[in-house]
Amino acid sequence: MSRLKQPRTSSIFLLELILAIFIFILSAAVCVEILAAARACSKEAASLDIAVSECSSVAETVYSSNSLPDAINGLTALYPEADVKGSNVTIETDSMIVNCHFAVSDGMLSCHIEALSEDESIYTLDAEHFLGKGA
């Protein structure tokens, strides 16, 4: 009788072991998926942080200027690689492109700033600076 019981307990042990390994593999797969999603979110957050920083830098240049040519000259001094076409300035960085469209109306210098990555808008910012009644 003892011989019949031993194979039964070893088969139950083997079944428990296989079940434990299966649960471990399933848990590992879920963890890998969660880590991959976290990495993608981290890259997106880093890209957004850089875009906000670049757009804020352009906005500070607009705030410190006294005219449209002064704002464009300030941007070209800050970003020597900037491409100026009329009242539009395009700045290419390592990871994104920043487009700036300037306009002057009723003494107000306004600038629409947009950060793009792979032709997808990441961040936009509108900056306005009062130049005075005579501008």
Of residues 110 and 11, more confidence is placed in: 110
Per DSSP, the residues of 81-120 read T-EEETTEEEEE-SS-EEEEEEEEETTEEEEEEEEEETTE
Element (H, E) at 13: helix 2-63
How far is it, in rounded angstroms, from Cα 54 to Cα 91? 10
- Calculate mean pLDDT across residues 30-58: 93
Of residues 49 and 135, more confidence is placed in: 49
Unique residue bearing structure tokens 């005579």: 134
Query: At 1, is the pLDDT very low, low, confident or very high (cuts 50, 70, 90)?
Result: very low
Q: What is the pTM of this model?
A: 0.74
- Calculate mean pLDDT across residues 116-124: 88
- Calculate mean pLDDT across residues 80-102: 91
How far is it, in rounded angstroms, from Cα 111 to Cα 1? 91
Q: Which pLDDT does position 134 carry in this prediction?
A: 58
92: amino acid identity, one letter? E
Q: What does pLDDT average to over the chain?
A: 88
124: CB partners within 8 A, 6+ apart:
55, 112, 113, 114, 115
With beta carbons less than 8 A apart as the criterion, state whether 98 and 106 touch: no
Say whether 128 sits in a helix, a strand or coil. strand
Instruction: Report which DSSP code applies to 66.
Output: S
93: CB partners within 8 A, 6+ apart:
50, 54
Unique residue bearing structure tokens 């792979």: 118
Instruction: Report which DSSP code applies to 67.
Output: S
- Encode pLDDT of 59-73 as tens digits: 998 888 888 899 999
